[in-house]
A and B are shown apart, each in its own frame.
Chain A
């Protein structure tokens, strides 16, 4: 009778172990599945690539007799350049709004594009919901424009939060 009781206890323990292992497996697989589906490689790639290529293409774009790069340089230094009856800072802002309206806004992206000058002045477009430190913001590829022989650099940064 004693032996019978012992064998029943062993059977019970085996069943409990099997159930525990099954539960552990189920919980671990469900946690793994939910974290991997949060952000796909594709989404990460497109956001990072979009940020870098947008900044590069924007900086290189020709405006009047110069480029956006030249507009930024003039806006940060002498403000002598005139383009379509506007000074460099106003033309820079116009160009930025024009291009983002047709691209990032039209595609429904949540973004913030910020041009930071050495004197801490900024020109920015976007929703204001994707500033530095926002959770889920793809790491922007900052573009720096040196102002030599003046001191400092201008920083152009596009953050995307989709």
Chain B
């Protein structure tokens, strides 16, 4: 009877160990999949932030061209771009404070590629330390020469820096 009770006890302990092992196994898988899901969610939020920033740059009235007070969102005025760059150089602190809160850590450059070649560095706030990821958005745009009324083909380069 004694040995039978010992065997039964051994069986019970074995069953408990197996069940515990299965539970731990399930928990490990569950936490792993949750972690993957959180990473995906985090990436989505970063992506959405990049998208909203790209849209924001396109709507800046101090750079865009308008006709009869109607704003063309895919067009930038070359005269305004040159004036903006000059103002940034003259008053770096004044403009930096406003745009860094709006644009964060990014670099914004506009380049004319056809028919002439010229570029304007509008904003540069690249992190010197701890950059985890760099993503670049290129958006084809029209560049208006408001003196001649001619349009050039240009590219808006938006470089975004993700903090580590």
A and B are interacting partners: yes
Chain A residues within 8 Å of B, Cβ to Cβ: 11, 15, 18-19, 21-22, 25-26, 29-30, 33, 36-37, 40-42, 45-46, 49-50, 53-54, 56-58, 60-63, 67, 95, 98-99, 102-103, 107
Least CB separation from B26: chain A residue: A22
10 intermolecular pairs with C-beta atoms under 8 Å apart = A18-B19, A18-B26, A26-B33, A54-B140, A56-B140, A57-B154, A67-B151, A99-B113, A99-B114, A103-B155
Judged by a CB distance under 8 angstroms, whether B48 is at the interface is yes
B residues with CB within 8 A of A: 15, 18-19, 22-23, 25-26, 29-30, 33, 36-37, 40, 43-44, 47-48, 50-51, 54, 74-75, 113-115, 135, 137-142, 150-155
Residues of B within 8 A of A102 (CB): 113-114
CA distance in complex: A87, B32 (Å): 63
A95:B138 contact, CB within 8 angstroms? no
Task: Give Cα A107–Cα B141 distance, bound, in whole angstroms.
Answer: 16
The reply to whether A33 and B36 contact each other, CB–CB distance below 8 Å, is yes
In the complex, chain A residues whose CB is within 8 Å of the CB of B25? 22
Give the residue of B44, B51, B153 whose beta carbon is less than 8 angstroms from that of A57: B153
How many pairs of residues, A versus B, come closer than 8 Å at their CB atoms? 92
Residue among A11, A61, A95 with the highest chain B CB neighbour number at 10 A:
A61
Residues of chain B with a CB closer than 8 A to A98's CB: 114
Which residues of B are found within 8 Å of A25, using beta-carbon distances?
A: 26, 29-30, 33
Taken together as a complex, chains A and B put the C-alpha atoms of A42 and B74 apart, in Å, by: 19
User: A11 contacts B139, CB within 8 Å?
Assistant: no
Closest 5 CB pairs of A and B: A29-B33, A42-B47, A62-B150, A54-B140, A57-B140
- In the complex, how many angstroms separate the beta carbon of B120 from the nearest chain A beta carbon? 16
Given A57-B153, A67-B151: A42 and B51 interface contact (C-beta under 8 Å) = yes
| Residue pair A41, B40 in contact (C-beta under 8 Å) | no
Give the residue name and chain of the B residue nearest to A158 (CB): B140
Nearest Cβ on chain B to A82's Cβ, whole angstroms: 17
Instruction: Tell me the bound Cα distance from A106 to B51 in angstroms.
Output: 23
Contact B140 A15 (CB under 8 A): no
* Contact between chains at A33 and B33 (CB < 8 Å): yes
B74 touching A107, Cβ below 8 Å: no
Give the residue of B19, B30, B138, B151 whose beta carbon is less than 8 angstroms from that of A107.
Answer: B138
**B residues near A29, Cβ cutoff 8 Å:** 29, 33, 36-37
Contacting pair B153 A42 (CB below 8 A): no
The answer for the CA separation of A67 and B151 in the assembled complex, in Å, is: 8
Question: What are the residues of chain A within 8 A of B50 when measuring CB–CB?
Answer: 42
**A residues near B74, Cβ cutoff 8 Å:** 53, 56-57
Cβ-defined contact, A57 with B142, below 8 A: yes
Closest chain B residue to A49 by CB distance? B139
Given the interface contacts A15-B18, A22-B29, A99-B113, does A58 sit within 8 Å of B44 by beta carbon?
no
